[in-house]
Structure 1
Amino acid sequence: MAAAEVEEFLAGVTPAVRQRDALTLVELMRRATGEEPVLQHPGIVAFGRYHYEYASGRSGDAAAAGFAPRKTATVVYLSDGTAAHADALSRLGPHTSGVGCLYLKRLDDIDLTVLEAVVRRSYETLTAGTFGTRAPEASAG
């Protein structure tokens, strides 16, 4: 059922460049995580899970890797914070970033080998045990 949901969602992604990039990212993230995609709402394709527990006592489970094809850019989620990947991201190609998100206009313009390495490293960091740092805190440290 999960595979059919992901396929149905991806079939409806527009514009065409976003759909093409989403199909590429599914394969890239499968390789990087060893996980199959599942659809999370609203419109997030997720791979694997990790457990977090913050100093505040808040805890839960979240996607260990994922992306969302949006109209203006594809968002790749890096829950361990983009700052943890600053060196690699400097070699990625054109992108913008937030605390825990990469915004990619066209995968054709970036180095997919670098992106796959970043996703793999983020996934491995998040799934190594209980993750205790929120992306804003990781970026500050």
Structure 2
Amino acid sequence: MQNKTTFTGLSVDDFIESAVKNPQKKADSYTLIRLFKDLTGKDPKMYGPSIIGFGTYHYRYASGHSGEAPVLGFSPRASAISLYIYSDTDKSRELLQSLGKFEMGKACIYVKKLSDIDLEVLKALCKETIRFLYEQYSSDVVLGQG
């Protein structure tokens, strides 16, 4: 089974300019790129057809399934921006209480636009995920590096 989060080598800017039609979502995408690059110290890369990721970590589940995924990532989808920044820790659950207007999926946070959420809380959630992934898995991002 092929992972959806496989690095593709496609251009992030080309993807945003061609696939993101909503001007606010496009502006939010560039804001997230600056924010995530600053937090990770890593340049954005395309994973699969629509995920913009920063840094990598290697995971292995109890089932034996393993792979590589971005440490932080997002996808500017038509209905919402999917944020792949969440780790299920006590601190993350606490931070979610003050994030703002969002919906929670199994492994991601959906926001309509960045102005619906508190960017300082988003940064704190990202930092918690960087810390968690570095401690639990093999990650190329160290908290405080970026």
Coordinate RMSD, CA, aligned: 2.2
Runs (4+) of structure 1 exceeding 6 A deviation are: none
Name the SS for the 1:18 alignment partner. Answer: helix
1:36 corresponds to: 43
Structure 1 segment 102-121 matched on structure 2, within 5 A? 102-121=109-128
| Residues 6-43 of structure 1, C-alpha deviations (whole Å, 9 max, x = no match) | 11112221211110110110011112212110011221
Contact 1:3 1:37 in 2 (8 A): no
Please give the alpha-carbon distance, in whole angstroms, between the structure 2 residues aligned to 1:128 and 1:44: 24
2:70 corresponds to: 63
1:85 corresponds to: 92
Structure 2 residues not aligned, in runs of 5+: 1-7, 139-146
2:137 corresponds to: 130
Structure 1 residues not aligned, in runs of 5+: 132-141
Structure 1 segment 14-53 matched on structure 2, within 5 A? 14-53=21-60
Percent identity of paired positions between Structure 1 and Structure 2: 36
Contact 1:51 1:127 in 2 (8 A): no
**Residue 122 of structure 1 aligns to which amino acid in structure 2?**
T
Please give the alpha-carbon distance, in whole angstroms, between the structure 1 residues aligned to 2:78 and 2:62: 36
Contact 1:75 1:103 in 2 (8 A): yes
Larger helix share, 1 or 2 = 1
**Residue 95 of structure 2 aligns to which amino acid in structure 1?**
A
User: Which piece of structure 1 moves more, 62-71 or 84-93?
Assistant: 84-93
2:16 corresponds to: 10
User: Which piece of structure 1 moves more, 110-119 or 55-64?
Assistant: 55-64
Contact 1:82 1:100 in 2 (8 A): no
Please give the alpha-carbon distance, in whole angstroms, between the structure 1 residues aligned to 2:131 and 2:17: 29
**Residue 25 of structure 1 aligns to which amino acid in structure 2?**
L
Please give the alpha-carbon distance, in whole angstroms, between the structure 1 residues aligned to 2:90 and 2:65: 22
Question: Aligned pair count?
Answer: 130
TM-score by length of 1: 0.82
TM-score by length of 2: 0.79
User: Which piece of structure 1 moves more, 13-22 or 67-76?
Assistant: 13-22
